[in-house]
Amino acid sequence: MLARIPRWANENVLVGFDTADDAGVYKLTPECALVQTVDFFTPIVDDPYTFGAIAAANALSDVYAMGGRPVSALSTLAWPAKGDLEELAEILRGGAEKMHEADCAVLGGHSVQDSEIKFGYAVTGVIHPDRIKTNTGARPGDALMLTKRIGTGVIATALKRGTAKDADVEAAVESMLTLNRKACETMLEYDVHGCTDVTGFGLIGHAREMAIGSGVTIEIDPRAVRFLPGAVDYARQGAIPGGLKNNREFAANCVTGESEFDDLLYDPQTSGGLLISLPEAEAGKLEQRFPAAYCIGRVTESQGKPIRLLGR
């Protein structure tokens, strides 16, 4: 579908929509480029303040995934005609405070009337044109690291079904509220070849884009992947989000090997972690400096399919 959008060569477009990357990058001067992205979605938690804050952390994440520094944002809002304005004020307050935590200025926004609440931001960041981290730079011999645990999709589904434990929901919310800022700032100290963030397409979906874009195979060890508390149980009990099934159908023919946790590897994440490809020798150092980061696999020459799941 994207292939049908006409495009015109522009030497200042450093990253466009050809490579399924996290954000677009536009060069302003030889020293400065803009990183631009937009994201919004329907409420995933009951508390409006928390929803606003998660929407902000999630929208900022694509700038961090490029190695950029967010500077400004515009909110995007769909709001029902008879919506509760107290609730809206809380959503906006949660978003504003999370943006402030990121030192990102909210300049305004736009709203439309709609039957279903949707909220998010268009975020602009800055980056030096030579320091862009794309999702097409993974190289054979790299280790693959992830900076958050997986499972926000199944936990949100269990929450909607009323089967999620409070403590599990709190842990998932805590994870979604965590900015990828520190992960980004830390990774920039190392020789990172490629980076993306794990969001709606799930771990395998985003690893797949990185593998295809980089012309490599990514081997993932499912036993190394860390899951949020309760996620494995809820998935076994059938709390499977619709997006997970779509992700699995879409990516399944790009994957070899099997795994018992296979469902969760396709779980759509909200405000997920950074997926980082860097030389094996650097991986241990990054983990020491940023203990939330852990190794989930490695990059090899292309083996035909983009993703290979190791062992059982």
CA–CA gap between residue 84 and residue 280 (Å, rounded): 52
Q: Is 21 in the site for Co ion (CB under 5 A)?
A: no
- Is the Cβ–Cβ distance between 312 and 231 less than 8 Å? no
Segment 189-208, which members bind Co ion (CB under 5 A)?
A: 197
Q: How many residues bind Co ion (CB under 5 A)?
A: 5
What minimum distance in Å lies between the beta carbon of 112 and Co ion? 9
Q: Which is nearer to Co ion, 144 or 239 (CB)?
A: 144
Report the greatest alpha carbon distance in the chain. Answer: 57
User: Which of the ranges 31-39, 121-129, 171-179, 284-292 carries the binding residues for Co ion, by CB under 5 A?
Assistant: 31-39
Segment 100-129, which members bind Co ion (CB under 5 A)?
A: 110
Q: Binding string, 51-80, against Co ion, x = CB under 5 A?
A: -----------x------------------
Please, is 266 exposed, middle or buried when counting C-beta atoms within 10 Å of its C-beta (0-12, 13-18, 19+)? buried
CA–CA gap between residue 76 and residue 91 (Å, rounded): 12
Q: Is 209 in the site for Co ion (CB under 5 A)?
A: no
Q: Is 39 in the site for Co ion (CB under 5 A)?
A: yes
The dihedral formed by the CA atoms of 48, 226, 121 and 24, expressed in degrees to the nearest 10: -170
Rounded to the nearest 5 percent, the helix, strand and coil shares of the chain are 40, 30, 35
What minimum distance in Å lies between the beta carbon of 145 and Co ion? 16
Q: Is 219 in the site for Co ion (CB under 5 A)?
A: no
Q: Identify the residue among 22, 168, 267, 282 touching Co ion (CB under 5 A).
A: 22
Alpha carbon separation from 182 to 16, 189, 232, 292, 300 (Å, rounded): 26, 11, 27, 10, 28
Which chain residues interact with Co ion by CB under 5 A?
22, 39, 62, 110, 197
